[in-house]
Amino acid sequence: MIRKAFITDVTEIQSLVNYYADKGEMLPRALHDLYDNLRDFFVYEENGKINGVCALHITWEDLAEIRSLAVEEKSMGRGIGKRLIEACLQEARDLKIGRVFALTYIPIYFERHGFRQIDKATLPHKIWSDCLNCVKFPNCDEQAVVIEIDKS
């Protein structure tokens, strides 16, 4: 089941995200950052265990970012990532947000869900404020993808 994250999920969220961060496949998330942004997160829970996570973070007037999409390895291939993305896109629709982007090492995954690759430089400068604390700044090697949302 997909639901909004609870405060009691934070350590499981961090464990899942940082598992992939340790492999160099996504950026790590500190506990304080997860607590600060808990309302952004959806989780996929099965039998009391978090098997997937994804966040929708509002970045600007008509722009939001999908962040920290992670699915436990043994749960991959079951459509959990797709359903988490769909939950984020539905929330964007509900909030009347017109575009959603992601910075990713796997752009083809997002392209399968309707996103298209764009030049990162076309995104508003405000999104880069979070990048200042990244270990890869200013040499970001993630690809930018975006999807237009029907706000009706």
What is the model's pTM? 0.89
> In angstroms, rounded to a whole number, what is the distance separating the alpha carbons of residues 52 and 73?
9
Q: Is the pLDDT of residue 129 over 70?
A: no
Q: Is the pLDDT of residue 110 over 70?
A: yes
Provide the pLDDT confidence category of residue 20 given band limits of 50, 70 and 90: very high
Provide the pLDDT confidence category of residue 136 given band limits of 50, 70 and 90: low
Q: Closest Cα to residue 97, out of 65, 130, 72?
A: 65
> Which domain, by its residues, includes 31?
2-148
Q: Is the pLDDT of residue 114 over 80?
A: yes
**DSSP per-residue codes, 27-53:** ----HHHHHHTGGGEEEEEETTEEEEE
Q: Length of the chain in residues, anyone? A: 152
Single-letter amino acid code for the residue at 111: E
Mean pLDDT of 139-150: 85
User: How many structural domains is the chain composed of?
Assistant: 1
- pLDDT given for residue 100 in this prediction: 97
Residue matched to tokens 């200042």: 132
> In angstroms, rounded to a whole number, what is the distance separating the alpha carbons of residues 122 and 36?
27
Q: Is the pLDDT of residue 49 over 80?
A: yes
- State residue 81 phi and psi, 5-degree precision: -60, -45
Can you give the CATH number for the domain in which 68 is found?
Answer: 3.40.630.30
